[in-house]
Chains A and B, each alone.
Chain A
Amino acid sequence: MLRKIRIILATVCFVLVNLLFLGVGWGVTQHIAWVAQIQFLPALMALNYGVLVVLIALTLVFGRLYCSVICPLGVMQDLFAWAGRKSKKNRYGHSPEKKWLRYGVLAVFVLCLIIGFAPVTTLLAPYSAYGRIVNSMFRPLYDLLINGLAAVETRFDSYMLPEAEIWMRSVTTFVVALLTLIIPGVLAWRHGRTYCNTVCPVGTILSFFARFSLFRIRINEDKCRKCSLCEKNCKAAAIDFKNGTVDLTRCVVCGDCIDKCHDGAISYTVELSAVSRQPSDVSRQQSVKEPDSSRRAFLTGSALAVGTAVMAQAKIKMDGGLAEIEDKQVPHRETPVLPPGSVSARNMNRHCTACQLCVSACPNNVLRPSTDPMRFMQPEMSFERGYCRPECTHCSQVCPAGAIQPVRPEDKPFVHIGHAVWIAQNCIPVANGDHCGACAKHCPADAIQMTDYRTEDGRTVQVPAVDKERCIGCGKCEYVCPARPFSAIYVEGNSTHQVH
């Protein structure tokens, strides 16, 4: 019964989290964003006391049900374990708690949280780890499917599905996501919930409360015939059948043992005694490596030699054909551009758990994970494929961690997230004499005026002059600028967002 309820609830939560990160459309996303807000670490980051109190109360009553139902990384491991069980039955065994590892990791985690060293906290956060997996691996597949369906529906003159641009937002984040899929996945396949009970800081924090839980798995010594089936099927390695004990700090209340027991000796009931016997054997210790971050794997996108956008002036102009368009490259920005609502670079750095939900929700291809080691995998903006559109506040509405705080569309034009900077030598009128003004024409804040400029070779051309007071840093000028691969006008971030 417990197992069935757990599976149903877990399926619901897991499906919702996946839908959320796949970006199935704002109509759905805005109604299921709560499933991110009930995650422990984001709630802690956002100081969302209501959620924290409920989660702790939940744990005090039911044990670590959170890890089996709400946490997507936990459910993912259960899926791997379930697949692994097909090959081999009754394969788990009891092992003692690895206290030094659990509390060591937790100590490091808390320390990093306090000093604000984001790379470690973001790497360890379980919900964020799963978000990155979906965002970097499943999302492109989903988009591919949607684009395929869109191509099909076009044949029936239907235009319901928006086509997605599929692109690699960050190679390093992809590698990290791949490792967080493989390492906990393989561990789960072979040993069950090893990751949750040795590395995961959320698991360790909850275990403090779980040991006092009201409802708990209990072995009735009178009925137990010491068949060992429960221990062999406990993926948390929490059951010691010889002593008839269950380690509540590691039990994730999956209910598998109850179903396995032929003798009805295991129950999930209220027990008034608050202390469970702790196993003390620490002789056999498995070394479990935490997922290795691949910070070293710094891939600076090697610039491919691409054909220039400017046509070679042929003697005879043939009609037809399309000019080649060189891909834009990300300019170097002294200060990263962060979305409206993130308040400041410090606020972002302190709160963000790098779950990529904002990246997933951004319909304009603006947000992507950073490769800067100090802001590793936290979002930043760039404008090669779109710009921060005035009517969109999706990222601020989905962020569960308070890193991007809610912004109303009507307030957005007053949040100055950055300012445009002009680069003379890239500017088309300076470079080839063509009349331009795309940036001024498109600026939604009226911050760009075209003015006279004398080039080095003595021509007078019209170039943009930016009024920094008016510029809000939306990036439209950078996006529409025809200069390639580097725009002639780009946005520098404001380290603290100005509101005026």
Chain B
Amino acid sequence: MDRREFIKHSAAAVAGTSVLLTACRKGGAGRSQDAGVAESDPSQMTMRVNPNTGDRVSLLGYGMMRLPTTATGSARENADAPIDQEAVNELVDYALAHGVNYFDTSPVYCQGHSEEATGIALSRHPRSSYFIATKLSNFSEGAWPRNESQAMFMRSLEYLRTDYVDYLLLHSIGGGSRGRDAIQTFYARYMDNGILDWLVEQKQKGVIRNLGFSYHGDIRVFDMLLRWHDEGKYHWDFVQIQLNYLDWHYAKRNNPRNTNASYLYAELDKRGIPAVIMEPLLGGRLAKQPTHILKEMKRADLNATPAEWAFRYAGTPDGILTVLSGMTYMEHLRENCLTYSPLRPITAEEDALLMHLADEICNLNAIPCTACNYCMPCPYGLNIPAIFSHYNNMLAEENVSPRRWLNGYDRAVPRTRQADHCIGCDHCLTHCPQRIHIPEEMQKIDNLVEQLKQR
């Protein structure tokens, strides 16, 4: 059986299984056939147990980094618009009512307003009904001194209106900074100032219940921290990694500086460290699929959305504590709750299909930007995530005319913020958790734009 034939067979098998499964689910839940307005049953939400504390954590975790604003779009797209607190309250209420109990924020999210908005929304509910995760986001050199980092943590407690944090992360280890590699940067952020030891003290005092880290980038830092865990130097209660069906095998193919999720997860699993998953949708990229990918997905399961596939994939391994999703809109929250109430684990056939689709998606050579906005603001005014998003969208569309490409570009990004204004100052390089060489990609996109304009 050659490869193509195998895929065909497996796709057919997947189609069969999923139709059956879908039928079971719809029938079992006794919901109307209209999936668009279906509500999830909170008692059905898949829960995972944290072996350290016995916390029963919902498989769907709420990422508070794309909160809605009073303008159209999330705080990612609208830096100037204030956060729509009422909408945040509604979303949080809905999430809690439907079984979601893990909320993940950071002092730097939404230009620094996420923790406060999260605190306001959550403090309206009993403190025991949810878990708060936040981070020590001391990226800037100005935040490296011990007292500054300590102040950052104390501010988090204040904004979150609580006296303890359930999950505290060293934020995005593995990144470099100006003139320092990733290891040196890690030492500057957490070791030389004694902050890690101070955090361990806080854990002993009960101010922090679980201590962990989130990882992007240089694998040496990840390996070093797990070695410390093995040696008993530090104990990691959980680790946050990027996992989705693209990153499982193809993180390298997307970008040579990334690490495959299969490796990261295996390292955690063999030590029994629960994994928190970020970027299950790659910043929404996996929710919007090119037509030919979408066709294959629909052939396998007519009712499932690309997002549903991605969430099911990310939630399937047992060692995963929760899967974070930065949900801006109620529709997304509702759909994701449904997906995990309960989780239908990915079958072997479905896994084969997704691996095959990952293969095809990688061949598009999309830029692996997740629109996390860590690179922003670009000091020279570029809208980096918007440029990448347009570029990727155009890759995903079939038969794009130059007019479509260029007019769409002007509509997506104002001229003064387009790729031709990148000067190659390289300030962004240390910020990108996906290790995208942003200036090089900008040059590539600008060359393409030139070609299209001269055609």
Chain A residues near B (Cβ < 8 Å): 150, 154, 159-163, 165, 309-311, 313-325, 385-386, 389-391, 428, 434-438, 441-442, 480, 482
Q: How many angstroms between the C-alpha atoms of A154 and B408 in the bound complex?
A: 8
Establish whether residues B403 and A159, one from each chain, have CB atoms under 8 Å apart when the complex forms. yes
Query: Contacts of A441 on B, CB cut-off 8 Å?
Result: 424, 443
Q: How many angstroms between the C-alpha atoms of A318 and B380 in the bound complex?
A: 16
Chain B residues near A (Cβ < 8 Å): 75-76, 79-80, 107-112, 137-140, 142-143, 148, 152, 372-381, 383, 403-404, 406-408, 410-411, 415-417, 420-427, 431, 443, 453-454
Give 23 pairs: A residue, B residue, CB < 8 Å, sorted on A.
A162-B406, A163-B407, A163-B410, A163-B411, A310-B379, A311-B379, A316-B112, A316-B139, A318-B111, A319-B372, A319-B374, A320-B373, A322-B376, A322-B378, A323-B380, A325-B381, A385-B415, A391-B454, A434-B379, A434-B427, A438-B421, A480-B423, A482-B380
Shortest CB distance B406–A (Å): 8
Besides A160-B407, A320-B111, A322-B381, 9 more A-B contacts (Cβ < 8 Å) are A150-B407, A165-B415, A316-B108, A318-B112, A321-B376, A322-B79, A322-B376, A428-B423, A480-B420
CB-nearest residue of chain A to B454: A391
Interface of A is mostly: loop
Query: Contacts of B108 on A, CB cut-off 8 Å?
Result: 316-319
Query: Contacts of A391 on B, CB cut-off 8 Å?
Result: 453-454
* A314 and B79 contact, Cβ closer than 8 Å, known pairs A163-B407, A309-B379, A482-B380: no
Most chain-B CB neighbours within 10 Å: which of A318, A435, A442? A318
* A319 and B140 contact, Cβ closer than 8 Å, known pairs A434-B427, A435-B424, A437-B424: no
Query: Contacts of A480 on B, CB cut-off 8 Å?
Result: 420-421, 423
Establish whether residues B415 and A309, one from each chain, have CB atoms under 8 Å apart when the complex forms. no
Residue from B375, B404, B421, B431 in contact with A159 in the complex, judged by beta carbons closer than 8 Å: B404
Q: How many angstroms between the C-alpha atoms of A416 and B202 in the bound complex?
A: 69
Establish whether residues A159 and B75, one from each chain, have CB atoms under 8 Å apart when the complex forms. no
Most chain-B CB neighbours within 10 Å: which of A160, A311, A320, A480? A320
Query: Contacts of B453 on A, CB cut-off 8 Å?
Result: 389, 391
Q: How many angstroms between the C-alpha atoms of A389 and B426 in the bound complex?
A: 27
Establish whether residues B411 and A438, one from each chain, have CB atoms under 8 Å apart when the complex forms. no
Residue from A161, A324, A436, A442 in contact with B425 in the complex, judged by beta carbons closer than 8 Å: A436
Query: Contacts of A434 on B, CB cut-off 8 Å?
Result: 379, 423, 425, 427
Query: Contacts of B375 on A, CB cut-off 8 Å?
Result: 319
Q: How many angstroms between the C-alpha atoms of A316 and B80 in the bound complex?
A: 18
Residue from B109, B421, B426 in contact with A482 in the complex, judged by beta carbons closer than 8 Å: B421
Establish whether residues A160 and B403, one from each chain, have CB atoms under 8 Å apart when the complex forms. yes
Shortest CB distance B114–A (Å): 10
Residue from A154, A316, A482 in contact with B140 in the complex, judged by beta carbons closer than 8 Å: A316
Establish whether residues A482 and B376, one from each chain, have CB atoms under 8 Å apart when the complex forms. no
Shortest CB distance B64–A (Å): 13
Q: How many angstroms between the C-alpha atoms of A428 and B421 in the bound complex?
A: 13
